[in-house]
């Protein structure tokens, strides 16, 4: 038997794709998830005039050092300790659950991570584009994958065989389906302006012509683009509110509202299965923030900084090897994501929870209509200014 088919496999492509996937998921996003949880606790504490977790260091005493390593803030080892706690806890399955779906739901909860594949997290490094799947239907792909994440909650609610998770699952299914509509519609003005669904091209366009919400360079400095800010601003606000609802964050955390539903859909889960829901929620937050960055805040682009091929930016900066700028771009992207995550947290500790009928009213009677009207507004602005 010959191994000729080995030659037909694009090894280099597989190597890059796997490398990028491992980098994004395991080296960036999962640590980002756990440190978002930590940031959530510290920021919420500061907002509520408390101190928050500032004790746990990195467990260097296990390696034979005298004390645990405390870095500048203190408590930075907390996510590690939390993870250990979740792994070591008893995984209790209550009686009467539907076992297959009960196990399937937490696996599906990590689905938002898949949609990271479509997000361009950097310009390019050593000539390789920093996006795992550079496809022309990136926007659709993301919506397809995030649309599936409702199944985790619905299945968890139904399979738990308990009334609080059931109510949480029902609430979440209606909420997520309602807000997906306005979320999708709010993106359409961008697609109309840009005319393609390829996310890395969208970011490149913003790098050349100004971020969608900050058109200050390239041909962005024109009154046509500034007129576009009106519909784009509206679609940004709608998109942001929908992301809050899609990720079940306060003020829309109806599916797990503690005061009414104990813990909602994950009431009956314990140990690592619960942790997966928990991580999934924060991963969804990260995906949402990444989308906001890609659509509205120029993705990996920073003003005056060249991209990974040394193009653009201040001319004297091009003397420095371009891979440095590739790394700067990646850092800039995740820095922007982190800023938006802090905003998520800030909003969470500011606003009280909506009532469920208010949530539905807001989604169906206001956001949906405004997003729909916004499309026509965009079309009108585009037609009047010929800015396409």
Pick the closer one to other proteins by CB: 155 or 367.
367
Window contacting other proteins (CB under 8 A); options: 31-39, 169-177, 331-339, 341-349 = 341-349
Site string for other proteins, 351-370 (x = CB under 8 A): x-------------------
- How far, in Å, CA of 123 to CA of 215, rounded? 19
Site string for other proteins, 291-330 (x = CB under 8 A): ----------------------------------------
- Minimal distance, residue 47 CB to other proteins, in Å: 5
Number of other CB atoms surrounding residue 49 within 10 Å: 6
Does residue 379 interact with other proteins by CB under 8 A?
no
User: Given candidates 17, 135, 148, 237, which one binds other proteins under the rule CB under 8 A?
Assistant: 237
- Minimal distance, residue 333 CB to other proteins, in Å: 25
Q: Which two tokens stand for residue 12?
A: 């280099």
Does residue 43 interact with other proteins by CB under 8 A?
yes
User: Given candidates 2, 4, 9, 49, which one binds other proteins under the rule CB under 8 A?
Assistant: 49
The CA angle 268-171-285, to the nearest 5 degrees, is 80
Q: HSE-up of 87 (CA within 13 Å, CB side)?
A: 6
Pick the closer one to other proteins by CB: 144 or 339.
339
Compute φ and ψ for 125, nearest 5 degrees.
Answer: -135, 120
Pick the closer one to other proteins by CB: 102 or 368.
368
Compute φ and ψ for 240, nearest 5 degrees.
Answer: -65, -45
Helix axis angle, 99-109 to 271-296, nearest 10°: 40
3-state secondary structure of 180: helix
- How far, in Å, CA of 214 to CA of 298, rounded? 9
Q: Which residues bind other proteins (CB under 8 A)?
A: 43, 45-51, 237, 346-347, 349-351
């Amino acid at each position: 038997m010959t191994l000729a088919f080995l030659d037909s496999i694009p090894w280099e492509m597989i190597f890059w794709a796997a490398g990028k996937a491992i980098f994004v998921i395991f080296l960036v996003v999962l640590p980002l998830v756990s440190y978002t949880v930590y940031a959530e606790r510290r920021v919420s504490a500061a907002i509520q005039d408390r101190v928050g977790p500032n004790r746990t260091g990195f467990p260097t005493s296990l390696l034979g050092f005298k004390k645990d390593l405390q870095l500048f803030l203190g408590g930075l080892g907390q996510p590690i300790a939390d993870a250990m706690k979740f792994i070591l806890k008893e995984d209790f399955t209550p009686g009467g659950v539907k076992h297959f779906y009960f196990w399937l739901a937490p696996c599906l909860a990590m689905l938002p991570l898949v949609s990271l594949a479509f997000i361009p997290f950097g310009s390019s490094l050593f000539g390789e584009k920093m996006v795992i799947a550079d496809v022309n239907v990136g926007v659709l792909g993301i919506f397809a994958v995030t649309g599936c994440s409702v199944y985790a909650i619905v299945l968890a609610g139904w399979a738990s065989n308990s009334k609080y998770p059931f109510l949480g699952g029902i609430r979440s299914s209606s909420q997520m389906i309602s807000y997906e509509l306005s979320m999708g519609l709010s993106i359409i003005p961008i697609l109309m302006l840009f005319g393609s669904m390829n996310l890395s091209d969208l970011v490149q366009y913003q790098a050349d012509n100004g971020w969608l919400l900050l058109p200050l360079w390239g041909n962005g400095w024109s009154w046509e683009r500034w007129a576009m800010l009106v519909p784009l601003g509206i679609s940004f606000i709608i998109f942001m509110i929908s992301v809050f609802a899609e990720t079940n964050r306060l003020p829309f955390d109806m599916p797990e509202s503690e005061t009414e539903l104990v813990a909602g859909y994950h009431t009956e889960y314990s140990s690592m299965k619960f942790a997966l829901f928990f991580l999934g929620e924060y991963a969804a937050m990260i995906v949402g923030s990444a989308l906001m960055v890609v659509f509205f805040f120029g993705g990996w682009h920073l003003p005056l900084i060249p991209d990974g091929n040394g193009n653009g930016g201040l001319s004297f900066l091009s003397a420095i090897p371009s891979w440095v700028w590739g790394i700067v771009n990646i850092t800039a992207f995740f820095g922007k994501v982190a800023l938006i995550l802090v905003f998520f947290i800030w909003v969470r500790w500011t606003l009280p929870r909506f009532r469920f009928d208010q949530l539905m009213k807001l989604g169906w009677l206001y956001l949906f209509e405004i997003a729909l009207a916004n499309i026509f507004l965009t079309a009108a602005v585009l037609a009047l200014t010929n800015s396409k």
